[in-house]
Structure 1
Amino acid sequence: MASAEAGTHLTADATDPNDPAKENTVFRLAGLIRPMWRPLLLAGLATLGATGATLALPWSVQYFMDGILSGSEGALGVLATSLLLLFAVQGIFSSARIYLLAYAGQSFVKDLMVRVYSRTQRFPLNYFDRERTGELISRISNDTTLIRNLVSNNLVEIVSQVVTVLGAAVLMFVLDWRMSLLIFVAVPFVVAVGAIFGRQVRKVTGEVQKNVADLTSIMEQTFGAIRVVKSFAREDHEQQRFADGAQKVFDASMRQAKISAILGPAVMLIVVSTLIGVLYYGGHRVVVGTLPAGEFVAFLIYMVMMSGPATGLTGQYTQLQQALAASDRIFSLMDTAGEDLDASQNGHSENAEGRIEFSDVSFSYDNGEKVLHEVSFDVSPGETVALVGPSGAGKSTLVSLLLRFYEIDSGEIFVDGTDIRELGLRALRSRIGLVAQDVALFSGTVRDNIRYGKLSATDAEVEAAARAANAHEFVSGLENGYDSLIGERGVKLSGGQRQRLSIARTLLSDPGILVLDEATSNLDAESEALVQDAVSRLMAQKTALVIAHRLSTVVNADRIVVLDSGRIVAQGTHAELMGSSTLYRRLYTKQLGGNQKSSSPTPKNCTRAKSATNSEDSRTP
């Protein structure tokens, strides 16, 4: 028996984000950037080369000034030659830096996006119940882009500007230490201003990114339900909802801009005040003859060269804080506990029979609502068992637990005698095929959607599955046959056509156990007949667990389990339950007398379809 702690297997890096072992954001970000050290190092060296050439320019100017003032005509030729060489060197190094930074930045964002997306694929289903799709999309796209800017631009620019500032400071000190001291007095003020506003930038950037994620969610929801929007003529409502979200992005962005608008001029005021002081002091010394004019000009050039990067560092610091805010959001995503699809405590037989057993299973959703109470029943190999009951009885929850979309509170579920918590998730789910009433198809070709059931399938196998699912005829009638694009979520196909593609996909995967939600309740009579025939082929010689909505479709099931308020209240054949179960008899009689589409009872192994995630009693905490 697996311990209750077994739960969903977590990957090695799915640790508590509050764990003291977790480094702070800066060190974690450095760890992500570390694989790019080679191109970044080369870019840094190229930056040093370009910066060195730039720092040599004032020396040439000083030589020129002193030569001209002393009457040396050779100074002009030396200046022209040196300037040409220095600009050539600077151009070569700058070109190398641009390419290397682009390579490092694009490589980094590609790897980071793949890593984060791969991480989301391991999240348990209850994570997607809580979070919005747009939020995830924003983190993977927008936040990673902010971090890319740090790698491809900010890091080396910071190095370049720091080297320029330090190099200019050293050379200025060599030229005249007295004037240099005037400049160094301003440094603490610049640092203090940057530190004060930098923290605010990081906080506001987090708000901006959150609002951008909200806006992305609005777009994703609207486009995904565009038919509903248009059928209710809610275009104006959605436009206003988007405008409100855009306003929030604007407001947060303007708070961010306000901080930057204060930070830049504040630093510039300090720099300009210092420059004016140096101009006055140095100019006085030139006038009285204690400072050569060439040295003073060179000193001023170095000062101007230093003031630009010094001011630029405040901008780089702002962008660094933005990248750190984005990193916080990325790391919170990466710290989310995920499933290990291949984890397995014990081995299991490859010769699966398809036996299922629920033993005293109880379950509550995250909101604390208990939806199953000590449920026990079994399904023998090759047997068809239907689950029936009122809406919210717990039918879909049972199959969600079988697939370990959620973890049980107590009890056990066995597949072929092995507790499912001791099976790897990939191995468990590969044994079970789902056919959903609300079919999920991907934007792509017919062939790609069928092949999703078995990625290694040949074209012949894909076509054979389509024939068995009664889909080949309509697929052949499409403009490009199996290579026809079906649109977003299969929008170009009818409900019956989508359902038959879903059945073909499941046929191709050839699972030993089928979990089905009635596949024909929303189809016309002709489509229903085709789908029922396809389902009967799908279910041949397989164990089937059926979630039934129309009881007329499961009257010939081997056994029917009646659920009410999370408890089994009766089980048996249709004939037995009509005599012994008041609830079943009431449900069946009500449906026959209602306005429901008539359908002759299907033979054993002939109906079903749908995953737990799409059924009527699934919960979204």
Structure 2
Amino acid sequence: MPRFHTGPAPARRDDWHTLRALWPYVWAFRARVSLAFACLVLAKVANVVTPLYLKDLVDALGVPGTLLALPVAALLGYGLARLSTSLFGELRDALFARVTQGAIRQVASRVFEHLLSLSLRFHMQRRTGGLSRDIERGTKGIGFLLNFTVFNILPTLLEIAMVAGVLLWRYDWVFAALTIGTIGAYVAFTLLVTERRMVYRRSMNALDSQANGKAVDALINYETVKYFGNEAYEHRRYDHDMAHWVDSAVRNQVSLNLLNMGQGMIITLGITALLWRSAAGVVEGAMTVGDVVLVSAYLTQLYAPLNFLGFVYREIRHALADMERMFDLLGNRQEVADRADARLLATRRATVRFRDVDFGYESDRRILHKVSFDIPAGATVAVVGASGAGKSTLSRLLFRFYDVDGGAVLVDGRDVRDYTQASLRAHIGIVPQDTVLFNDSIAYNIAYGRPGADQAAIERAARAAHIHAFIMSLPQGYETPVGERGLKLSGGEKQRVAIARTLLKDPPILVLDEATSALDTRTERAIQDELAQIARDRTTLIIAHRLSTIVDADRIIVLDAGRVAEEGDHAGLLALGGRYARMWQLQQSGLDEGQGNLTDTVPK
């Protein structure tokens, strides 16, 4: 069985792996990236040239009054350099905006598409709240990483290199050495301390996702929480995780304060040494006042971005940690995948066959054992049995949410693994026992069976499901919102919406999984007649608990502990006097066979 990532992130990882994963999405906008980089270089060249014009101004104005003249060239050069810095910087930002947002869109879309392609097993193991939080943080991390890398890290590093080159060109090597040494010490200290701090950030992320997952889980199952009076219990669980999150957050903040203190000391020492050296040069007559202004201006220009560089680097590392969990989602293997030579299923009359099917959700717990039966085209076959007998598993295998461990499920005589999943599922419609609706309108939920269907088709399906009159009685009619998971509708109303949705899909294969279990007797009879009419021309698999709903089935399969115990039509099974006859007798007498195992109530 594949293993899925559900726990905390590892203490260390290869950040280059994350960057390599992001790069194709950025390079898709290569023309904009190239233009933005050119603007970046031009902006920094203008920024480095600006203090040179300032030095010329100071030296020109520092001569005796009799020789003083307006330094027009220096003034114009200074103004043009300042303007160019701003102009090219803004142009860079404008060009790169679509790169950042476009990359975020493509990554988010790719992750969403991949999650939808993963197996049902993955989605049964994950927590929705934690998963959504990982994606949210990851997409924000992409924006932060790209913006601060292009707008801060690269420009600052480029400016540092240019300033060091100018100082080395105009003055002795001590100025360049002091500049590079200060920056080297600053970067080394930042890298060392930040690496040690990352464990706190990863711990915060894991605890945040865990707490959010529990909160969303409790809110989704709000009614169950209220039924059992477990509000305080759910609050304690949530608060327990948040308390651990606070501990990690405090450690993270304290370590940040220590990092800022160390960075401040290094910058202060470097600036003091450079100013001392330039002041000494003026005293010695080797440098002018303009030279001191030049060095001071460079230090001022570098101080702010260099001080910000520490913050940016820390946040980039945090962004990489945030992106880590999102990109890890793309690493989850698609358990059920189309074969390279998979073909399209195209038919209006399909046969279905289960041939010696073995299956288990876990390797050490088998659900189905050598199950075999056929559903001819246009026929109706019902499967009955106690809870846990494997009835609903049959529909999941038919939809190919899972692949069988042994045997095969065949449609039109061919293994379902030979078809594309999209074309296979397009031919199957299901009315499930547990109907979940989208938090949208009734019309949207019915139209989900065939996106793009017009209003007339939606209303025809609603009439066939005997829910049109109810919908029209509502103030907003078909535009009535159903709430989270359809909580604003009763169980019967939700099930009728699900029936209408499936009728709108109009599939050649129909699966009815306890399709009328939540309906009252009168509505159930009306819908049973309609379903019987609809199923007449379709290959139909009925998974049933109430035997009265399947007496007209062409064939009835009795499952017991994942094995076919009996099969035949209703009359034949009653005459057999076995398990089915016992179930019928119990239900007719008002008892509920679902309260116990089939093997507990039927003599061997």
Give the TM-score of the pair, scaled to structure 1: 0.86
Percent identity reads 31
Identify the range of structure 1 (531-540 vs 438-447) with the bigger mean alpha-carbon deviation.
531-540
CA shift for structure 1 position 307: 3.1
**Aligned counterparts of 1:402 and 1:294: Cα–Cα separation in 2:** 83
Could you tell me how far 1:262 is from its partner in structure 2?
2.9
Q: 2:553 aligns with which of 550, 557, 562?
A: 557
Among residues 457, 472, 482, which one is paired with 1:461 in the alignment?
457
Q: Specify whether residues 150 and 126 from structure 1 end up closer, same or farther in structure 2 by C-alpha distance, changes over 3 A only.
A: same
1:566 maps to 2:562 = yes
**TM-aligned CA deviation for residue 581 of structure 1:** 5.1
2:345–2:419 CA contact under 8 A, matched in 1:
no
Moved more, 424-433 or 171-180: 171-180
- Residue 426 of structure 2 aligns with which residue? 430
Tell me the residue number matched to 1:602.
Answer: none
| Per-residue Cα deviation, 1:384-416 (whole angstroms, up to 9, x for no partner) | 222111211111112211111111111111111
- Partner residue, 1:54: 47
Query: Which of 587, 591, 598 does residue 591 from structure 1 map onto?
Result: 587
Equivalent pairs, count = 578
| Cα distance, 1:301 vs structure 2 | 1.9
The reply to whether residue 155 of structure 1 matches residue 150 of structure 2 is: yes
Alignment partner, residue 252 of structure 2: 256
Q: Judge conservation of contact 1:387–1:547 (CA < 8 Å) in 2.
A: yes
Could you say which residue in structure 1 is the equivalent of 2:23?
30
Single out whichever of 512-521 and 334-343 deviates more from structure 2.
Answer: 334-343
Q: Which residue of 2 aligns with 1:360?
A: 356
Question: Given residue 107 of structure 2, which amino acid in structure 1 is its aligned partner?
Answer: L
Q: 2:189 aligns with which of 182, 190, 193?
A: 193
SS of residue matched to 2:519: coil
Cα deviation, 1:573-606, whole Å, max 9, x if unaligned, reads 2333234354333333333334569xxxxxxxxx
Instruction: Give the stretch that moved more between structures: 90-99 or 156-165.
Output: 90-99
Quote the offset at 1:447 in angstroms: 2.0
Query: CA separation of 1:239/1:348 partners in 2, compared to 1, >3 Å: closer, same or farther?
Result: closer
Alignment of 1:375-414 (within 5 A): 375-414=371-410
Residues 87 and 155 from structure 1, CA distance in 2 versus in 1: closer, same or farther, beyond 3 angstroms? closer
Q: CA deviation at 1:467?
A: 1.6
What is the rounded CA distance, in whole Å, between the counterparts of 2:35 and 2:197 in structure 1?
31
* Matching residue of 1:318: 314
Superposed CA deviations along residues 55-95 of structure 1, whole A, max 9, x for unmatched, are 23322332232223323543576665544433333332233
Deviations along 1:540-573, whole A, 9 cap, x unmatched?
Answer: 2222211111223223322221111111111122
Cα displacement (A) at 1:352? 4.2
**Structure-to-structure mapping, 1:104-123, within 5 angstroms:** 104-123=99-118
CA contact 1:154–1:319 (8 Å) conserved in 2: no
Tell me which residue corresponds to 1:618: none
RMSD: 2.7
- CA distance in 2 between partners of 1:331 and 1:581 (Å): 58
The one-letter code of the counterpart of 2:293 is V
Q: Judge which range, 292-301 or 240-249, deviates more.
A: 240-249
SS in structure 2 of the partner of residue 313 of structure 1 = helix
Q: Equivalent residue for 2:87?
A: 92
- Correspondence 1:285 to 2:278: no
Secondary structure of residue in 2 paired with 1:74: coil
Name which of 507, 515, 520 aligns with 1:519.
515
2:18/2:324 contact within 8 Å kept:
yes
CA separation of 1:23/1:50 partners in 2, compared to 1, >3 Å: closer, same or farther?
Answer: closer
Alpha carbons 2:104, 2:143 under 8 Å: kept: yes
Q: Distance in 1 between matches of 2:145 and 2:121?
A: 33
- The farther-off stretch of 143-152 and 340-349 is 340-349
Distance 2:342 2:451 in 1: 27
Please state whether the residue corresponding to 1:24 is helix, strand or coil: helix
Point out the more displaced range, 68-77 or 190-199. 68-77
Match of 1:610 in 2: none
Deviation track 1:365-400 (CA, whole Å, cap 9, x = no partner) reads 135211111111112222222211121111111221
The match for 1:138 is: 133
2:35 aligned with 1:39? no
> Does 1 or 2 have the higher relative contact order (CA < 8 Å, sep 6+)?
1
SS of the residue corresponding to residue 504 of structure 1 reads helix
Structure 2 gap segments, 5+ residues each: 3-14, 594-604
Is residue 2:160 matched to residue 1:165?
yes
Match of 2:536 in 1: 540
- What whole-Å deviation, never above 9, does each CA across 1:398-453 have from its counterpart, x for those lacking one? 22111111111111111111111111111211121100122121122222211111
Letter in 1 for 2:22: L
Distance (whole Å) between structure 2 residues aligned to residue 74 and residue 240 of structure 1: 78
> Unaligned 5+ residue runs, structure 1?
1-6, 9-21, 598-621
Aligned residue among 479, 482, 485 for 1:486: 482
1:302-340 per-position Cα deviation (integer Å, ceiling 9, x unaligned):
123223333333323222222322332222211222378
Distance 1:509 1:332 in 2: 35
Classify the secondary structure of the residue corresponding to 1:195: helix
Conservation of the 8 A alpha-carbon contact between 2:356 and 2:371: yes
Q: CA deviation at 1:508?
A: 1.3
Q: What CA distance in whole angstroms lies between the structure 2 residues aligned with 1:365 and 1:495? A: 28
Partners of 1:44 and 1:156 within 8 A in 2: no
Structure 1 residues 206 and 263, CA, compared in 2 at 3 Å: closer, same or farther? same
Q: Residues 172 and 302 of structure 1 are in contact (CA less than 8 Å); yes or no, is this contact kept in structure 2?
A: no
| Offset, 1:344 | 6.4
